[in-house]
Amino acid sequence: MKVNGKHYRTVWMKGSSVFLIEQNILPFDFKIYESKNHLDTCNTIKNMVVRGAGAVGATAGFAMAQTFLEAPKNNFWKYIKKAKIVIESTRPTAQNLFYATNRVFNVAEISKRPIETAVLEAQKIADEDAENCRKIGEHGNELIKNGFRIETHCNAGWLAFVDYGTALSPVYIAHRNGKKIFVFVDETRPRSQGAKLTAWELKNEGVPYNIIPDNAGAHLMSQGKIDIIIVGSDRIVRNGDIANKIGTLEKAIIAKEFNIPFFVAAPTSTFDLNCKYGKDIPIEERSEDEVLYQTGLTNKGKIEKILVCSPGSKAINPAFDITPAKYIKGIITEKGIIKPDETSIRKILN
C-alpha cells in the first residue's frame, strides 16, 4: 500500500520489535506503533491496533517469534507454550491467528536453532500473505466487468492483511487495469471499518466510491444498482460456511433474493478443516462500548470518543456472524475460484 507516496505493509518486524499501522486512529491520523514484546503485541491484536484476518495472523506469527527471542534459557519451552496460549486467546474467531502460531511453533520445535527458525518462519508467513492476496486480486479481477458496481462489507483491504487485501484486491487490480468501476462501501457498524478504513484505502488508491448505511444495501440491490458483492472472511470451515464481520449474513441473503453474485475472498490459510459447520465457530463478543460510543474528529481537530446512544442503555456486540455456503457463489483464493463445498475445499488444500 502507498500512504503519502511511501510504501507500507500493515505489520512488519525489525529486530525484536513489531511495527504496525495504528488502525484505531485512521483515517484521521497516520502513525506507526512499535510493540517491543509479545504481550504488547497481544494487546495490539486485542485492542484492534491491528485487525483483519491476514494482518492478525501475521501479527500473531511475529508475536510467537518475539516469545522465542524473549524466552529464558531455563524453562525455555515452558515459557514458549505459555505465551502461545496467551497469543491465541486474543481473538478467538480468526483462523489465520491459529494458523500462524501453530506454524511458527511447530517449525521451531523441530529445529536445532529454534530462535532463528521462529523469526524466519514468521517473516515467511507475512510474505506469503502479501503474495497470496496479490494472486487473489488477479483471480478476482476476472469476475469484474467494465462498469461494475461493487458492494463490500467491513474492511478486507490493505489494512486487513499484510498488503493488497482480499475483497479489495480484485478491486485494485481491476482499477489498475483501466476498468471503470464503482464501490459501495458499507459503513459497517459498530466500529465503522468500512466508513473509516475501506473508504480511506479507496481514496488513496483513487477508486470512485460512496459510503452507504449498513441498512441501505437491500434498497440498492432492489434497484439493480449492485452488480457483485465481494467480502472477506475470518474463518471458512469444511462445508463452505464462513465467519465474517457482523452484517455479512444479511448481505448474502438479500443478494440471493435479487440474484446478485456473492463472493468471498480469502487465502487458504483462512480455511479450517478441523471445523465442519459454521455453527461450531466461536463468535467473539466484544465490549458494548463499541456500540454505545463512537470515535471521531472534532471541529478542533481532536480525536474524541462520545456517547451516541440513550444514556444508561445496555448493548450486545457480536463481532461476527455465520454465512451458510448456500448463499455463496464462490470463494476467491490464491489458487483460483472454488465452490463453497467440502470436495472443492479439500481439493484446493491438497
> What integer pLDDT is reported at residue 3 of this predicted model?
85
Q: What ranges make up the beta strands (E) of the chain?
A: 2-3, 6-7, 11-14, 17-21, 32-35, 149-152, 182-186, 209-212, 228-231, 235-237, 242-245, 262-265, 271-272, 293-297, 303-307, 320-323, 330-333, 336-338
Active site residue 234: yes
Task: Give the whole-angstrom CA distance, residue 125 versus residue 319.
Answer: 25
The answer, yes or no, to whether residue 277 has pLDDT greater than 80, is yes
Share of the chain above pLDDT 90, in %: 95
Average pLDDT over every residue of 250-270: 97
Q: What are phi and psi of 117, to 5 degrees?
A: -65, -40
Peptide bond into 27 cis (omega under 30): yes
User: Which superfamily does CATH assign the domain made up of 137-286+316-349 to?
Assistant: Translation initiation factor eif-2b; domain 2 (3.40.50.10470)
Supply the pLDDT for residue 92: 84
Q: How confident is the model at residue 69 (pLDDT cuts 50, 70, 90)?
A: very high
Phi, psi of 332 (to 5 degrees): -90, 115
Q: Give the per-residue pLDDT at 6.
A: 85
- 89-120 pLDDT, tens digit per residue, is 999 887 899 999 999 999 999 999 999 999 99
Cell of residue 232, nine digits: 472477506
For residue range 14-44, list pLDDT tens digits in order: 999 999 999 999 999 999 999 999 999 999 9
Kindly tell me if the per-residue pLDDT of 206 is higher than 90: yes
pLDDT for the residue numbered 94: 78
Spans of all domains in the chain = 2-133, 137-286+316-349, 287-315
Provide the pLDDT for residue 59. 98
Tell me, what's the pLDDT at 93? 83
Asked if residue 270 has pLDDT above 80, the reply is yes
pLDDT band at residue 5 using 50, 70 and 90 as cut-offs: confident
Average pLDDT of the residues of the chain: 96
pLDDT at 2 over 80: no
- Whole-number pLDDT of residue 4: 79
pLDDT of residue 246: 98
pTM for this prediction: 0.92
Domain range 2-133, CATH class: mainly alpha
Cβ atoms 13, 123 nearer than 8 A: yes
Catalytically annotated residue among 234, 241, 272, 321: 234
Domains 2-133 and 137-286+316-349 equal at CATH topology level:
no
Q: Residue 220 pLDDT > 90, yes or no?
A: yes
